Structure 1
């Protein structure tokens, strides 16, 4: 089976649409090296680890595949990865006292830390000795492993090296989450904050100076950015985050700027502005027409901050350089990408990688790629419909003849909270596969979707079902003027996870619009979800039981709704085709 050619739906789900393309890119702090993963052929799923030496353009293979993930020292001179519980590093295979999970060299490259399946944190020192740094085996307590709620805030890590490699800041996960500074030579310091009031540890960053952490109340409507004194564990408030619905920190923040100011993400919601912005010690840094998606980092030798952001068109993501220097010239952002599309960036020192291009000043290098061309060349018609300007994409079968009415497949993807209408051909491959089965495939970024404006994203608070479902239906009707070939008498709906829940809601609550639906691994009971996830949208169940009742699914009528596990696409398509015939 050639994944990505005969079966593109499986390729999209595993993120393997382009075997042979570089990914998981990391740039060393001094810009001397760029590490990345890439398989050695267009049909080879086993990614190898490579390093580009920027000054010479030399590319060296460090390890054969499969390497799923890796980490490096600050300058990437030492790289480490795990395979089947064994530790590997560039230049050898150190012996370990336990199975290895998430190995990570310290910034200097002298030591390597790792966690174990039983929740302990260990360090291999410069002399090769493997020592237990923290652990309580058999107690149900884990060290250095991200607690379940962390995933809801985009945090996958549970421990961090100090910049000099002498200490580790680690999460201790028990009934409540705590944070501790562990000295490699013995002893530890507890990090102090009001954990009862602010139980969620959203992010931790330790790139220079003192560690910075972000914590949230359980309601997620108020948070603090705290600086930690590594000697005492005491914390100082650098910024407050507040929103009457929920706080949404910008990835890549908080960040310590070169002049000592602390960069945080926030929202501008006055004087007609509705923007996701960056602030440094309370001063606005980004123009209010820029929707900041992620902070990449500071470009060495300049006063510019590199960010991924959207300017005007939510289907596109571009890379910008933002001026951070103090002065009276106001906010200023310089766009570095020119072609329409969805661009990504990585940064280290004075080297900037945009997509597959490495830039150092005027010099430009390309990361090597042996990727096979994408199986389809979809051309979705992107538009905005209704007075709410809902971003919408419409995809026809290849060779469609205008005037031929076709059934509609409303593809909800992963549902609200995930952007689907984007200018990235990879994201439309599976949809083209569905379209070629005889459908017009429609995707709508209803309210609740990021990328447009904060108010657009958060208006679903405590009324997700009503707002999201109304927008999907209104968008379908709003398309008929420009797309008369949509047969709205034959509409199917399909989604996964939260999108699966919304697909089931659509069939159950609006059978006048949706003839049938497929719910793939749907959310069926909001009360069984992580509190961090469910309460962001619905609030606490104890305070809002009627909201949870309103968002519950009715018993499933399998005559019109197929509940499918992930990967059952052939059965899904047969069901949808039959029901829409």
Structure 2
């Protein structure tokens, strides 16, 4: 069997599919405009900023290239930074101008009313451009620089933030008069900065709760933050008094393994209740849900992945918009969009599906406008669509999806397109990016690289073992303190279970591959399951968990000082060298990786 598409061409064509499609969609709060990124053509390297006028259905290119952007409340002003240069666009007139600054800029964000523009500098400062010019709002001597990236930084998210899904480190107040900003030194602190120069510290027990998991400052109510203990087994949802910086506890979060905040929470609802994500783990329930002041508002059968926003619709009580939520209802490979009632009703917790077609759906919301995938809806009526210039995908993968073993592990088997039943195939077991990242999803673009390997003569097997989101909280957290053993056992058992349904899988010729955490697992597999896994390729693997970011390591393994044996058991450093393991970095070519696997498991070259 021959590789039908050269890998560089596969990468180019897959990039063409992704680059030509609209993404990064946001909707103004008044629902008048939809802003998004899209490349000029399927193979253009950099995206441009576009705006859709909802009333007329017309799209306009605003400018670019724009790798990322920020908008004001009603999407009348947009800002972005390219090569360190700051740009501002009037989305009503279409005028775009470069804004002079003293140095390189990142993360520009206009104030909610569009009158001011804040941005971060390369030396760790937060600055604001307004009627009085470009002024320093927060920064200090000896801050970060290219010589000392570990110096003090204002407005940066910080290293552990991505573990909690927090991408930003500063936020405008709804009235545009204040900024809530992180200060990163050896730890994170939070401060309220007035545009006239005054400021107050946000007070919470940072020694007990050092992790700032989430921050939200919406039009309704005070700013809300989620803070976690170092071991992430307990957290608080706090409301901040924007005058004094004092905090008040709104909710507690607790889990014997780790707290997993739901992205998009906490947030204040229109009726004054505070929405938080949590888990239902009693009376036979095992669910990831939403609660409003302690009352369950989503059904236990819905695994809530993210709260997208509030959506006004005809027929709802004034001041009680629905929530738009991304979640999974039964099948982990699917992501659907749901409408959740927040107003008082006698129906109890309910969620109405917005999407019904199988797939991995996304959404954005503003006012009474809802964008689902590329379709734009207003008040239940389709009013337009975001145009896609995406190139056709190189392959149309058809993975055979299943749930296997008594643990009902999601799994997928991908065959070569010219495979004939009865032809035994060596197996390529993919660990992807490891636990915490699903592989078995209903998105054809996610299977392109795996189909390329399949075309080389493999049955490619992907398993979402315990430790992976999308099934249930207990499934996700079963790896606590035993990540390696649980994950490898699940993959071993899944392979044997799949062989019973796919007899052409040749379990005498199994190779493994993965990246990062997945690379670490692939390397462990060839050492600890050598009787099953013949060889492995590990790209940029974790080798010593003691050298990984502390918050990440402690979530899975606990403190190094408390459990050195656990860290030693999860380390690659003491494993013997073996010619059956190839450790490479991200620059290593996939053709070379393929050649190593073929040679090691005894496949004939095409």
Q: State if a TM-score over 0.5 links the two structures.
A: yes
Q: Distance in 1 between matches of 2:562 and 2:425?
A: 46
**Structure 1 match to 2:78:** 79
**Contact 1:8 1:429 survives alignment (8 Å):** no
**Structure 2 match to 1:324:** 342
**Structure 2 match to 1:215:** 227
Q: Distance in 2 between matches of 1:383 and 1:226?
A: 42
- Select 2:323's aligned residue among 289, 293, 305: 305
- SS of residue in 2 equivalent to 1:101: strand
**Contact 1:493 1:517 survives alignment (8 Å):** yes
2:27 matched to 1:23? no
**Structure 2 match to 1:206:** 217
2:197 matched to 1:176? no
**Structure 1 match to 2:416:** 397
Q: How does 1:368-379 map to 2 (within 5 A)?
A: 368-379=387-398
**Structure 2 match to 1:459:** 478
Distance of aligned partners of 1:5 and 1:164 in 2 relative to their CA distance in 1, 3 Å threshold: farther
**Structure 1 match to 2:582:** 562
- Select 1:108's aligned residue among 108, 113, 116: 113
Tell me the CA shift for residue 183 of structure 1. 0.2
**Structure 2 match to 1:359:** 377
Q: Which moved more, 1:130-139 or 1:309-318?
A: 130-139
Q: Distance in 1 between matches of 2:576 and 2:196?
A: 59
Q: Distance in 2 between matches of 1:317 and 1:294?
A: 10
2:265 matched to 1:256? no
Q: Mind listing any 5+ residue stretches in structure 1 that lack a counterpart?
A: none
TM-score, normalising length from structure 2?
A: 0.93
Tell me the CA shift for residue 300 of structure 1. 2.0
Q: How does 1:57-456 map to 2 (within 5 A)?
A: 57-64=57-64, 66-90=65-89, 91-127=96-132, 129-139=133-143, 140-208=151-219, 209-301=221-313, 302=316, 303-361=321-379, 362-456=381-475
Q: Distance in 1 between matches of 2:548 and 2:15?
A: 25
Q: Distance in 1 between matches of 2:491 and 2:23?
A: 34
Tell me the CA shift for residue 6 of structure 1. 5.1
Q: Distance in 1 between matches of 2:295 and 2:192?
A: 31
Q: Distance in 1 between matches of 2:368 and 2:406?
A: 45
Q: Which moved more, 1:547-556 or 1:305-314?
A: 547-556
Q: Distance in 2 between matches of 1:338 and 1:154?
A: 27
Q: Distance in 2 between matches of 1:408 and 1:212?
A: 49
Distance of aligned partners of 1:306 and 1:92 in 2 relative to their CA distance in 1, 3 Å threshold: same
Tell me the CA shift for residue 102 of structure 1. 0.8
**Contact 2:19 2:42 survives alignment (8 Å):** yes
- SS of residue in 2 equivalent to 1:7: helix
**Structure 2 match to 1:542:** 561
Q: Distance in 2 between matches of 1:249 and 1:561?
A: 37
Q: Distance in 1 between matches of 2:19 and 2:394?
A: 12
**Structure 1 match to 2:147:** none
- SS of residue in 2 equivalent to 1:118: coil
Distance of aligned partners of 1:567 and 1:393 in 2 relative to their CA distance in 1, 3 Å threshold: farther
Q: Which moved more, 1:460-469 or 1:545-554?
A: 545-554
Tell me the CA shift for residue 202 of structure 1. 0.5
TM-score, normalising length from structure 1?
A: 0.97
**Contact 1:8 1:433 survives alignment (8 Å):** no
Question: How many equivalent residue pairs?
Answer: 575
Tell me the CA shift for residue 240 of structure 1. 0.4
Q: Distance in 2 between matches of 1:63 and 1:547?
A: 52
Instruction: Write the deviation string for residues 544-571 of structure 1: whole angstroms up to 9, x where unpaired.
Output: 1110011111345241000011142121
Tell me the CA shift for residue 126 of structure 1. 3.2
Q: Distance in 2 between matches of 1:20 and 1:445?
A: 29
Q: Mind listing any 5+ residue stretches in structure 2 that lack a counterpart?
A: 90-95, 144-150
Tell me the CA shift for residue 18 of structure 1. 2.2
Q: How does 1:439-518 map to 2 (within 5 A)?
A: 439-518=458-537
Tell me the CA shift for residue 482 of structure 1. 1.2
**Contact 1:316 1:423 survives alignment (8 Å):** yes
Distance of aligned partners of 1:332 and 1:62 in 2 relative to their CA distance in 1, 3 Å threshold: same
- SS of residue in 1 equivalent to 2:98: coil
**Contact 1:177 1:199 survives alignment (8 Å):** yes
The CA RMSD measured in Å over matched residues stands at 1.4
Instruction: Write the deviation string for residues 256-304 of structure 1: whole angstroms up to 9, x where unpaired.
Output: 1000111000000000000000000000000000000000111024431
Q: Distance in 2 between matches of 1:292 and 1:7?
A: 37
Q: Distance in 2 between matches of 1:487 and 1:521?
A: 28
Q: Distance in 2 between matches of 1:191 and 1:535?
A: 26
Q: Distance in 2 between matches of 1:9 and 1:541?
A: 42
**Contact 2:15 2:43 survives alignment (8 Å):** no
Tell me the CA shift for residue 155 of structure 1. 1.2
**Contact 1:120 1:137 survives alignment (8 Å):** no
Q: Distance in 2 between matches of 1:45 and 1:318?
A: 30
Distance of aligned partners of 1:246 and 1:63 in 2 relative to their CA distance in 1, 3 Å threshold: same
**Structure 1 match to 2:595:** 574
**Structure 1 match to 2:146:** none
Q: Distance in 2 between matches of 1:61 and 1:103?
A: 20
Q: Distance in 1 between matches of 2:178 and 2:62?
A: 28
**Structure 2 match to 1:36:** 36
**Structure 2 match to 1:7:** 8
Q: Distance in 2 between matches of 1:329 and 1:46?
A: 48
